[in-house]
Every structure is written in structure tokens, then in C-alpha cells.
Amino acid sequence: LPMSGIGEILKAVGDFGPFQKWLVLLTLFPCLSMAFHQFCQLFMVPKVPHHCDTSWIHAIGPNLTEEEQLNLTLPRDADGAYEQCSMYSPVDWNLSSIVAYGLNATEKCRSGWVYPSAPPPSLLTEFDLVCDRKDLSDISQSVYMVGLLLGAMIFGPVSDRIGRRPVTMIAVFLQILFGLGIAFVPHFYVYMAFRCVVGASVSGISMSIPALAIEWVGVSFRPRAVIFSHCCFATGQMLLAGLSYGIRNWRLLQIAGSAPVCALFFCIWVLPESARWLVTKGRIEEAKKVLQKAAKGASHGLPLPGLTLSFCILKLKPETQSKPGSTLDLFRKKHLRKVTLIMLCTWFVNSLVYYGLSLNVTNFGLDIYLTQLAFGAVEIPARVGCIFILQWFGRKKTQAVVLPLSGLVCLIIIGIPEDQPVATTVLAIIGKFMASASFSTSYVYSAELFPTVVSQTGMGLWSMSGRVAAILAPLIRLLGQYHRAIPMAIFGSAPVVGGLLCILLPETRDTDLVDDTMG
């Protein structure tokens, strides 16, 4: 039986045998921690009442009650509440003069802030992310997204050159080291720097693990391998809602979300390298070893007898050597250029609407923990449903329908009055459902549209496009201060355009992966 190609041998080993099931299961767990790091800051910056620290008046009026102190030292807003970001300028008068004449000159808080409700330690209260410093919270979220972008730029090409397994190991190690380190930072700028590194590690894991799973399983099971990991990511979002509800101290919450990955780090040592990647790199002996291991694990129900399969593995020949794929290959080759540009647009608008909704969880008007739980839960049927939808209708039709629908929901939200939080939240959940389904489709579709030799470089490029959108999403939300409809109008219109472009893409359902750029 002349079967020396890696594709034929992988079919003989079994599309989704015990070996592949074990492999996919092992790659799911890092996705739980990815969800934590992606959205944990939303729960570390709770909105709490605050006002300027005006303890200067204690020097001349030590017996004043708290209410008397605030009444003398803080101006009031139009609603009669104490101003949160301004105070009366301190003076050298005695207390009786201050009481008699009052203070008029105001200034910004000069001695920090007081949080009268005595909330648990949070990023907001510990680093005073209020008033002039409140934008640091959004900036920090954008810095984390910059880390995701840097990770896409670095780990995509590196994964094509040194392999999927080493990149996974490096990314998980960085996530453990800096994820735990965040809990001990003394300054907010150090916090942002550590979050940037964690973002890069999350990007590396999100690219290398799906690639490893896809390149091991058969054609019909490729969507399931990716979508199972996405379901695990959704489960992680649900767990975050419960974890943050039970642990209100931000440092303890950070430790609780980062520590479990330590145990996983040792389990990942047993991950095998992608046999398909080894063959494309000419490392035939290593490919034979992992294929024989896979064949032993799939001893039942094989298309070929064990001895015949072992013989075929031993006869495995190096495939036509191609140069390592580069980003330029995606634009130099005519048959790849159009698809690359469309996928860049698709990932950008998909990421824009996904993060536009996800990072807005605190502003829909309902309880943040229940909303986060619903946002995580709705992703599971969206991801699982994709398994069947992609097989029934194909990748092209699915992407061209669910992506525009996610945008249409955002456009409908614009017309909902602000005093209807339930309707707004329900629509946002529907939008999250559509955006999640589109994301899962993008991962599967992208991996199938491009040759193995440039697949990870391409994935890095599209992920970069998505990360740019993720950086912009928090900044677009700030446009709401000019008009509340502006952010949702952008989040809604962009996916509609991107979805229509997907009509120009080829269908990849039930097709074999191409190993080089000549395919």
C-alpha cells in the first residue's frame, strides 16, 4: 500500500481516535485561565462613591462630625450631592470664620480621595482610579489588548518556525509568572506592564493550541477541536462571574485566577508536537515517533491493520520542502491575496463587536455578575451550535449570516430607551451569541483557507487585526460621552460590511488541508 503522505497516514490513524481525544482534552484547560485574564479587570474597578480628602480642617476643628466636615469643605452639585472631584481650597482662617462666611474658591482634590462605604480593596480604591485618573482604567484595558497584539505578532511566526508545542509551553509559563506577579505590584503602571505581558501570553496560547488540535484531528472533526476550546473559554467566563462575586479583594482574586495554571504547566509537558508540522519541516524521524504513539492509542477501529499502518509510518517520506512561510507570501501569491484581505477585515469587525459588547458589561444596567454569567453561558450554545451549522451549511454561508446579525442587534440597541435595562441586556446577550458563533467560524475557516506552511503566520496576522480592533473598542466606548448612540452605531455597522465581504470567499467544507503555498 503506497501511503507515504502525512495526510493519508493521519486518516489511517483515525480522524478522532483516543489519542486525538486525549490531546484535545488536554488543550482545553488553558482556555479557562484565558477567560479570567481577558475580563477580570471589569470586576476589579467597581463603581463606588468617593469624595476629596479634606482632613486639613481637622487641624482647626478636631471635634467636627463627618457631616459637618463635608458640609464645610465640599461643594455640592446641581442635585445637592457632594462633588466627587472638587473641594473648597484650604484657608488659614479659624473655624468660626469658616462657619460664618463659608468657603467659595474650589480646586481639584489635592490630598487624594476618601471612600466612605469602606469597600473591599480594588484597583479603583487602591490606586485612586477616579476623577482625572479614571481614564487609566480604560487605558489599562487597551494596554492589555496591546499585549494581545504583540503576542499575535511574535507567537504566530515563531510557532511556524519552532513548533506549536514550544510556543504553548512558553506562553503558559509567562502567563503563570506574570499572572501571579500582578497580585503583588506596588504601582498601577507596573500593573499595566505585567498585564501587557499576560496579554501576549494569552495571544500565544489562543493561536498555538487550536493549531495543534486542528493539525492532529481529521477533516470532519476539525471544527469540533476548535469549538470545544472556545466552549471552555466560555465556561471560564462563567467561572469568573462566580469567582469575582465570592472574592472582592482584587489581589486575592488575581491569585485565585492565576494559581491553577501552575498545575496545568506540568501536564502540558506531555503534549506531542504536530506531526504535520514536523513533516513540513523535514523532521521525519520525530514525526514517525509521534505517529506511532498516536497509532498505539488508536488500536481499535482503525481503517488499516496495525502492522500495515506501522509499515506506512516507517515509509513516511519527506514532502517537497518549502521555504518557511512569511507574511509576504500571503500577499505575493495571487490566490491568497484576496482571501487574506477579506479575512483581515472579518477578524477586525468580529473582534470589534465582540469586545464592544463584552467590555460594556458594567453599563447595561443590570447586576454585573449575573450579566457576566449570562454572557459566558450564551457562548456555549453559540460555539456548540457552530459544530453542526458548519457541517450543514458550510463555512462561507455561516460566516456571511451570523457576523452581520451580530451587528444588526447592536443597531437595534440604539433605539432602546436608557430606562429599559432588561431589554438592552437581552439584546446584548443575543449580539454576544452571534459574535461568538462568528468567532468560532473564523477560527475554523481561517485554518482551512491557508496552507499549513503559512497557516500560523496567517493566524498571527488576522489575530493582529482582531487585536487592533480590541484596542480600539474601549476607546470607541468613550465616544458615548458625546452621544450614547455613537459606540453602538460603530459596533453595529462594521460587522454588517464585513459579513457581506465573506460572500467572496471560497467554501472549505470537507476539503483537505494544503501543506504548501503552491496548493
pLDDT score for 12? 63
How confident is the model over 36-77, as pLDDT tens digits?
A: 998 999 999 888 888 898 888 888 888 888 888 888 888 888
pLDDT score for 311? 45
Rounded distance between C-alpha atoms, residue 172 and residue 164, angstroms: 12
pLDDT score for 297? 53
Neighbours of 245 (CB within 10 A): 15
pLDDT score for 338? 82
Rounded distance between C-alpha atoms, residue 245 and residue 222, angstroms: 36
Neighbours of 422 (CB within 10 A): 11
pLDDT score for 484? 82
pLDDT score for 415? 86
DSSP string, 165-190: HHHHHHHHHHHHHHHHHHTT-SSHHH
Rounded distance between C-alpha atoms, residue 241 and residue 154, angstroms: 31
Sorted by sequence, the CB contacts under 8 Å of residue 414 that are 6+ apart come out as 485, 488, 489, 492
Ordered domains of the chain (ranges, CATH): 1-48+121-302+316-321 (1.20.1250.20), 51-114 (no CATH), 322-518 (1.20.1250.20)
pTM as predicted:
0.79
Neighbours of 41 (CB within 10 A): 19
Grid coordinates representing 146 are: 496591546
At residue 6, what is the residue type?
A: I
Pairing of strands 113-114, 106-108: unpaired
Rounded distance between C-alpha atoms, residue 158 and residue 170, angstroms: 11
Per-position b or e across 88-114, b if 16+ CB within 10 A of its CB: bebeeeebeebeeeebeeeeebeeebb
pLDDT score for 156? 75
pLDDT score for 182? 95
Rounded distance between C-alpha atoms, residue 441 and residue 150, angstroms: 23
How confident is the model over 116-145, as pLDDT tens digits?
A: 888 888 899 899 888 888 888 888 999 999
Question: Which residues does the chain have with pLDDT short of 50?
Answer: 1-4, 299-309, 311, 313-314, 321, 515-516, 518-519
> What dihedral do alpha carbons 267, 268, 272, 278 form, nearest 10°?
-160
